[in-house]
Chain A
Amino acid sequence: MYSLKFDINVCQTCPTGDCLVKCQYLHLDRDTAVAEMVKIGKGEDSFVLNDCVTCYACEEYCRRGNHPFYLITEQRQEKRILTAPRAITRQWINIGEPQGKYRLGEVNKRALSFGFMPEFLSWVEGRLFEDVMPSYIFGQEFFCNVVYIHFAETNIIKERLPRVIDNFRKLGVREVIFLHDECYGAFAHLAPAYGIEVPFKPIHYYEYLYRRLTELKDLIRPLNIRAAYQRPCSSRLSSDQHHFVRDIMELIGVHLVERTYQDENALCCGGILGMNYGYDLAHEVQQRNIDDMKAHGAEACIFNCPACQSTLERLVAKQGIEPMHMIHLCRKAIGEM
């Protein structure tokens, strides 16, 4: 079972300190990285607790079974070190509060979960989804709440997640396809790690799309475009699913440009950076990211997360790169758009 364990002995013998050496925001050498992780592991103060910008990436950088980002988050929460302005944290906590405004399609044993992203209510249609729709679930009552990791508020997650899972249980679903990988990460990994039983099988929508595209192979017209991929922070919580990006693109004839900020080295869209740290950091990261897409000849930028898309789409489009969600890309490939 997935667990969020953290063993400082493992750090002490770590040859690379990859978690913080690879961090794109802290720029540390191996010795400092290891020393700081050990300090954090012991519950001591570390500048990392102030300077980490919550990109989630070190969760993936550490290949030695530790969970550095969760540890940083827990320690921040413990020490009340704020990541975001108080008002922003409060606002996000309020937004996720259930209000009885959820929407359900004709839910049966298999369902699509839109989390709390209203975009999906209009985006999810066509043949790709015909074997599940109109079985869908949307609303705060079914929202994973994992976003609060950005705000070092895992308590909210721990408090709300059991209720959310209970709401799923009441629907009697057996298999849920999550259209946001934060939700997928929550139900596939986080909940079990917190000791909460998940009464259904979580499926990442990339896996689902890949399967559907394979089934609808005859309809696929290779798109023959060069695309950059904007990887979201939360996909680091389920990096085992990341290979589907390439798999899907290969299937539909999209050339994924091999840019610098790709895969493990992906950069944040800047949304959270702007809210939490202001203009300079967000602007610098966004600029670097988009320049990189351009330099590698991307004609389109494919998004996984609607929030990343809404943050970056205008900036990307200004550079002549077409912003597009993965769902739209796949629908285009089967001639629906």
Chain B
Amino acid sequence: MTDIVQSLARIVGDAYVSDRPEEAYFYARDPGLMPPHKPDCVVVPKSVEEIQEIVRLAAREKIPVVPMGAGLALTGLVIPLRGGIVIDMKRMNRILKVDEMARHAIVEGGTSQGYLKAYLEKHHPRLRHSIPDSPATATIAANVMIHGQGRLTQQYGFNSDMICGLEVVLASGEVCRIGSGALSPDWFSKGPPLPDLTGLFLGWFGATGIITKIGVKLYPRKKMRDVEIFITDRDSLVPGMVYELTHTEMVEDINIFAQPKPMIFKDNHHITLFYTGDTEEEMEFKRKTIWHSLDRFIRSKDGGFMGVPPAMKSTLLDMPQRSVSRFADVKKGGGFEYSGPIIMVDKYPACARKILELAEKYDLGYSGMARIIGRSHAMMYGFAFTFNRADPDMMERTRQALHEVSVFALEAGGVFWKGTADEQKMAMQKMDPATRGLMGMIKKQMDPHGIMNPGNWEVTEV
């Protein structure tokens, strides 16, 4: 492997390549539950050209390449399942352009969520992007790659719906632009009115190409933002409540959670809804409309708006919301993983009951949390368990619980979000064979040598 390391060093410089055991240890794992697997080496490129050369080298030598952002997807997607080269994208973190009037930004493939947020707040205070609640180091391209969801998802869909172009390095080492940017200097559309080619890359977890630039749509950032929490003890009523709330078209983001701790959250389902406005009048009008939309549930005593204490409010209004990361350490030992199928909102009660059943069966700390996608078009339901990494038995119980979640999610008509390699296989087995065949054809064409994040979306293995 030293020849390869030397070749890589020639591409990126000595300081940015390593096959030392410390690095191999670190890059062999993610913060989730998947078993580690060591890479042969790690490289941290700075430019598109360097990535092209790395991929050409890998293609020549038939060595796997695994692109990595912050490694926070938690489901083992950056673990180099067949070894090879981990391409850590973090040095490619420039914000290349912000078009205020056309409301989009073009950023490099390793740019973090936190950096774009801070940059916009400073230079373009009237603009924002759909930030997820992952730690701020999570990267924009990777989040779009896994069809993440963020603060604007209830309004505009998956974060991958909110992009306006890609630049991708293909398995051949060629670089290719997707969307209006393929023929125009202006990145205003990811596809339409052309054939939308983003589908050749997004959701493939780097198994068809490496994103080096991404156009991110930006949205108005209002001056004020507030949060309300509607609570109910009846899981079966949650879908109807969400329907009413989404009907108002006045909510920014809707998250639902149910968890046993702390005591204030015990026994209830919490529909957390955020709203924004530029004036007090706009805020009050929205608040009133939102509250009124749930009047019938208040009248029937099936739910009510709880008083949100000031400390809780400021935590909730944080972007990203740090409480999610704090949950990771509830059991001490910093273990946290969630399986988050994308599923219909009417499955909320079934999901809520399932997580209770599993937490009891496996004696685990849990939080059930959902984010509404679109106007009640779907939701991500996160079956989140927290565990102590120093407790192998607890880790094993978590693994088993998550496996049961996977089986349940498929049976309930859901689709895995950022599925593990095993879940990808389960999904492909259940998939319409013609669709699976089409995926196989695409993968074969896009990655003839099977070097792109192998172990993921491998149709041939099904």
Q: Contact residues of A with B, CB < 8 Å?
A: 82, 84-88, 90-91, 94-95, 97, 99, 271, 274-279, 283, 307, 310-311, 318
Contacts and interface: CB of A to CB of B under 8 A. Distances in A.
A87 B301 CA distance: 8
A85 B263 contact: no
B291 interface: yes
23 contacts: A84-B301, A85-B297, A86-B233, A86-B302, A87-B232, A87-B269, A88-B231, A88-B304, A88-B306, A90-B266, A91-B267, A95-B263, A271-B307, A275-B305, A278-B291, A278-B294, A278-B295, A279-B287, A279-B288, A279-B291, A279-B295, A307-B307, A318-B280
Contacts of B291: 278-279
A279 B233 CA distance: 20
Contact of A94 (B266, B297, B301): B266
A283 B290 CA distance: 14
Contacts of B287: 279
Contacts of A97: 263
Chain B at the A interface: SS class: mixed
A85 B307 contact: no
B268 A87 contact: yes
Interface string B61-81: 000000000000000000000
Contacts of B304: 84-85, 87-88, 275-276, 278
B298 A277 contact: yes
A97 B266 CA distance: 11
Given A88-B304, A90-B266, 7 more contacts: A85-B232, A85-B301, A90-B267, A94-B267, A95-B264, A274-B307, A279-B295
Given A87-B268, A277-B298, A279-B291, A94 B263 contact: yes
B233 A99 contact: no
B309 interface: yes
For B263, B302, B306, which residue has the most chain A Cβ atoms within 10 angstroms? B263
Contact of A91 (B294, B298, B306): B306
Interface in B8-30: none
A90 B268 contact: yes
A279 B280 CA distance: 16
Nearest to A85: B304
Contacts of A283: 288
A276 B269 CA distance: 17
B185 interface: no
B303 interface: yes
A95 B297 CA distance: 23
Nearest to B299: A278
A95 B288 CA distance: 27
B392 interface: no
B292 interface: yes
Cβ-closest 4 pairs across A and B: A85-B304, A279-B291, A87-B231, A278-B298
B307 A275 contact: yes
A52 to B, nearest CB: 15
Contact of B301 (A86, A91, A274, A279): A86
A99 B263 CA distance: 9
Interface string B244-271: 0000000000000000000110111100
B310 interface: yes
Given A86-B233, A87-B231, A91-B306, A279 B264 contact: no
Nearest to A278: B298
Contact of A310 (B266, B298, B303, B309): B309
A275 B309 CA distance: 13
Interface centre among B287, B288, B301, by most A CB within 10 Å? Answer: B301
A275 B306 contact: yes
A182 to B, nearest CB: 15
B303 A87 contact: yes
B342 to A, nearest CB: 27
A331 B264 CA distance: 33
A274 B264 contact: no
Contacts of A87: 231-233, 267-269, 302-304, 306
Contacts of A86: 233, 301-302
Output the residue of A87, A275, A310 with the most chain B CB within 10 A.
A87
Interface in B418-434: none
A84 B302 CA distance: 9
B302 A94 contact: no
Contacts of A310: 307, 309-310
Interface string B269-296: 1000000000010000001100110110
A76 B280 CA distance: 39
A82 B301 contact: yes
Nearest to B313: A310
Interface in B385-443: none
A117 to B, nearest CB: 11
Contacts of B263: 94-95, 97, 99
Interface string B213-234: 0000000000000000001110
> Which of B267, B288, B292 has the most C-beta atoms of chain A within 10 angstroms of its own C-beta?
B267
A90 B233 contact: yes
A279 B297 CA distance: 13
Contact of B305 (A82, A94, A274, A318): A274
A279 B296 CA distance: 12
Given A91-B231, A274-B305, A85 B264 contact: no
Contacts of B264: 91, 94-95
